[in-house]
Amino acid sequence: MTWTSNGLLQNMPENDLEMLRPHLQLISLNQGHVLFEPNTPISRVYFFESGLSSEIAVAGAHRIEVGCIGREGCSGIPVILGSFSSPHRSFMQVAGEAHRVEAATLRRLIGESVSLSAVLLKYAHVFMIQIAATALADGRFDVEKRLARWVLMSHDRLGDTLTLTHDFLALMLGVRRPSVTDALHKLEGKRAIRSERSVVTVLDRPLLEQIAGEAYGTPEAEYLRLFTSHP
């Protein structure tokens, strides 16, 4: 399938893909583009071809990332589950392209096809595993391990070069900016990454995996278990 690198579209049965494809519109999404705001209607779902989206839990002035999505999946998990809103916020952390579909249209198609529903529900399950893994990492692992995990997750979706500011990483990890700077210096000192001018370059992925340890890998393994072809 040469027209898409999206993992969900690649794993859909052919009849579901034929049903869905006429409703897909390929668009470019700039960095910072908001996919949905807290407690407001989710009007569209995006099947990503590139880039990286972040889902943020919001409680007053407090914010922390609970999950990220790239070309392995799609935005708008609440729509898959039958809801058209979420208390979370979702936006593009790294610009990219995506196939956009109206949320109401996707819900209608899910109702018409058990196999389409099954594929999307499997992905919703994987995303919930990712959220749980993030909670575990934030509650039980130090900042260096959590940063290594997040760099690995970004590397899975974006490749070796990651455009990540210290302020953004602080939001993602739920820590103060100096803690991020210190953790980046530790990973640089071990020659796992190179960090300069808001760009993180992965130098040694196996070493990053070793540093992250049990903080990384459970959602990724679940994705591989449930889907037979991958982006």
Considering the domain architecture, whether residues 163 and 79 belong to the same structural domain is answered as no
Give the domain extent around 113. Answer: 7-137
pLDDT at 231 over 90: no
- State pTM to two decimals: 0.95
Considering the domain architecture, whether residues 173 and 94 belong to the same structural domain is answered as no
CB 47 within 8 A of CB 99: yes
For residue range 15-57, list pLDDT tens digits in order: 999 999 999 999 999 999 999 999 999 999 999 999 999 999 9
CB 84 within 8 A of CB 61: no
Sheet holding 193-196: strands in order across? 161-163, 199-202, 193-196
Q: Is residue 23 part of a domain?
A: yes
Considering the domain architecture, whether residues 33 and 89 belong to the same structural domain is answered as yes
For residue range 132-187, list pLDDT tens digits in order: 999 999 999 999 999 999 999 999 999 999 988 888 888 888 899 899 999 999 99
What confidence category does residue 1 fall into, taking pLDDT thresholds of 50, 70 and 90?
A: low
Q: Is residue 81 part of a domain?
A: yes
Considering the domain architecture, whether residues 21 and 129 belong to the same structural domain is answered as yes
Q: Can you give the pLDDT at residue 106?
A: 98
pLDDT at 205 over 90: yes
Considering the domain architecture, whether residues 149 and 211 belong to the same structural domain is answered as yes
Burial of residue 163 (CB within 10 Å: 0-12, 13-18, 19+) is: middle
Number of domains in the chain: 2
Q: Compute CA 132 distance to the chain's CA centroid, rounded to the nearest angstrom.
A: 14
Sign of CA dihedral 231, 30, 92, 141: positive
What's the rounded Cα separation, in Å, for the pair 181 and 43?
Answer: 38
What's the rounded Cα separation, in Å, for the pair 50 and 23?
Answer: 19
Q: Is residue 231 part of a domain?
A: no
Q: Is residue 106 part of a domain?
A: yes
Q: Is residue 172 part of a domain?
A: yes
Considering the domain architecture, whether residues 148 and 119 belong to the same structural domain is answered as no
pLDDT at 89 over 80: yes
CATH number of the domain that 52 lies in? 2.60.120.10
Considering the domain architecture, whether residues 102 and 188 belong to the same structural domain is answered as no
Q: Is residue 108 part of a domain?
A: yes
* CA dihedral angle for residue 99, residue 155, residue 92, residue 8, rounded to 10 degrees: 30
Considering the domain architecture, whether residues 132 and 212 belong to the same structural domain is answered as no
Q: Is residue 228 part of a domain?
A: no
What confidence category does residue 198 fall into, taking pLDDT thresholds of 50, 70 and 90?
A: confident
Two structure tokens written together for 13: 């049965």
Considering the domain architecture, whether residues 81 and 103 belong to the same structural domain is answered as yes
Q: Is residue 2 part of a domain?
A: no
The domain boundary, picked from 109, 137, 165, lies at 137
What's the rounded Cα separation, in Å, for the pair 45 and 176?
Answer: 32
